[in-house]
Amino acid sequence: MTIIPGFEAGTAEVNGVTIAYAQCGAGPPVMLLHGFPQTHAMWHAVAPELARDFTVVAADLRGYGASGKPDGEGAYSFRNMAEDQRALMAHLGFDEFHLVGHDRGARTAHRLALDAPEAVLSLVVMDIVPTHLLLDQLNRHVARAYYHWFFLAQPEPFPETMIAHDPDTYYESCLLGWGSAQIEDFDPAALAAYRAAWRRPETIRGMCADYRDALSADFADDSADLDKRVTCPALVLYGADGAMARAYDVPATWADRLTNYDGAGVPGSHFFIDQSPVETTRVLQQFLKKQG
């Protein structure tokens, strides 16, 4: 099921997991990946506009939404998440595609571009600094704003038990806590989709596992790849009023990871896609159309 107007929902068995997605449009393929604690529904206002010119696929990451929630240490590494999405696009007939990600989806997208550069025509990362940089050079301002990285990464079942007491209160505090967002910034249908997903114990577990693996498998993978560069055309977008913009010169943090990129701020906080969908769409259309 999808709330994105005009899109058809589907699932695919790829890389040993079920991945849920929604698809619409014709033209060059574009994959959209959401972040924490959302689902592919976050693209409800952007995806239909992009589908006028592109074949758009918006997918749920493993552990999130309607996608599978496997067990096992390392199961939620960005490397596994990236392979899920590359395999999904290949399953749909797209060996090459443009890749857009927000938050965890952006970290997955960065890993996919490192591991399978032949598949990525262009890359857009939204409101993140590189994972290794954030963890290796953590400062008190980022730690205060992004405390959830370290809470969610605590051993099971501590965070799961705490969150399950009142999932709406916890996850909505995340939606509102990384900038200037208000609950009214989120479309009611999208918010209902997020709530339906994050109220499920298996989703709570999957999202915690995602953050556990960030501090172990992902940090190790990124440490091993510090010398690797993404060479395709890239765009670094960030919320001009968000926590990352206050703590970093966000585009500058990517200078030694991307060789061909631009950066731009969009009005809003971490969830600027929800707050400024028209501006987000305009910037994405401009970048993607420039790629030919």
What's the one-letter identity of residue 49?
Answer: E
Runs of H (alpha helix) within 45-94: 47-50, 78-91
Runs of H (alpha helix) within 225-276: 243-247, 272-275
Integer Cα distance of 252 and 230 in angstroms: 15
DSSP state of 61: P
Q: Is 103 left (phi over 0), alpha (psi -120 to 50) or beta?
A: left
Active site residue ranges: 103, 270
